[in-house]
Amino acid sequence: MTAREPAAVTTIRGRSPIQARSRERVDRILATATEIIADRGSDHLKMSDLAARTGISIGSLYQYFPDKAAVIRALTERIHAGSRRCIEDALAPVQSRAELADAFSGLIDVYWSLFLAEPAMRDIWAGAQADKALVELELAESRRHGEMLAAAIRRARPEADPEKVEPTAFLVWQLGEATMRLAISLPRAEGDAVVAAYKRMSVDAILAAG
């Protein structure tokens, strides 16, 4: 779930950064972009500024990322890749209701701590909303997360109706994303309270689904 995970850069013009030097350059570009977004917001990310702060020519930057949208896309994909691994690790061992509640609650705590530690995540997602392809990617990612949660619910509660479990799990993830974006924009105490309320509601929902 962290923006510091290795990049899965699928937006580079028809090629992957195979060589170590290329990978390091991509990581440096994305790290610098994250810093700019954290300081100024995604609206103020400029390719010329990104190149200058990364210490490369604008031509070199365009070899990896043809435009700002490609940078935002790569950052979003990086976050998604980290999220999938975190969710898989947390939910894979779940076999009981108690384990399900503990695992999901722990995921929310981890996710909230990451938002607090990486304020650029909010602005990266804000930038992603202007890209229809990224909106669709985010929806697909929520479906994957919902499927993982639904599988854990079915293991913990084999009597549950799959037709009710799956939409509940999907909705829980969608609401989780919205909750984090709201909470990070609020004063810290209020944000903590909003996240805690979401966690209580969601745990109740997944334990009652079906």
Three-class secondary structure assignment of the chain? CCCCCCCCCCCCCCCCCCCHHHHHHHHHHHHHHHHHHHHHCHHHCCHHHHHHHHCCCHHHHHHHCCCHHHHHHHHHHHHHHHHHHHHHHHHCCCCCHHHHHHHHHHHHHHHHHHHHHCCHHHHHHHHHCCCHHHHHHHHHHHHHHHHHHHHHHHHHCCCCCHHHHHHHHHHHHHHHHHHHHHHHCCCHHHHHHHHHHHHHHHHHHHHHCC
Does position 46 have pLDDT exceeding 60, yes or no? yes
Indicate left, alpha or beta for 82 from its phi (over 0: left) and psi (-120 to 50: alpha): alpha
Query: Would residue 106 count as lying in a domain?
Result: yes
Residue 85 corresponds to which tokens in the numbers above?
Answer: 């691994």
Query: Would residue 158 count as lying in a domain?
Result: yes
Q: Which residues contact 206 (CB under 8 A, 6 or more apart)?
A: 100, 101, 104, 149, 153, 168, 169, 172
User: Do 24 and 110 touch, CB atoms closer than 8 A?
Assistant: no
Q: pLDDT by residue (tens digit) across 23-39?
A: 888 999 999 998 888 88
Q: How many domains does the chain have?
A: 1
Residue 8 CA to residue 16 CA, distance in Å, equals: 9
Query: Would residue 30 count as lying in a domain?
Result: no
Other C-beta atoms closer than 10 Å to the C-beta of 167 total: 12
The whole domain housing 186 covers: 80-208
Over residues 64-73, the mean pLDDT reads 89
Which pLDDT belongs to residue 44? 81
Per-residue pLDDT band for 138 (boundaries 50, 70, 90) equals confident
Query: Would residue 72 count as lying in a domain?
Result: no
The amino acid occupying position 197 is A
Which pLDDT belongs to residue 172? 93
Query: Would residue 113 count as lying in a domain?
Result: yes
Query: Would residue 14 count as lying in a domain?
Result: no
Q: Which residues contact 51 (CB under 8 A, 6 or more apart)?
A: 57, 58, 60, 61
Query: Would residue 5 count as lying in a domain?
Result: no
Residue 151 CA to residue 200 CA, distance in Å, equals: 20
Query: Would residue 91 count as lying in a domain?
Result: yes
User: Do 128 and 43 touch, CB atoms closer than 8 A?
Assistant: no
Q: pLDDT by residue (tens digit) across 109-126?
A: 998 998 888 767 777 766
- pTM check: above 0.85: no
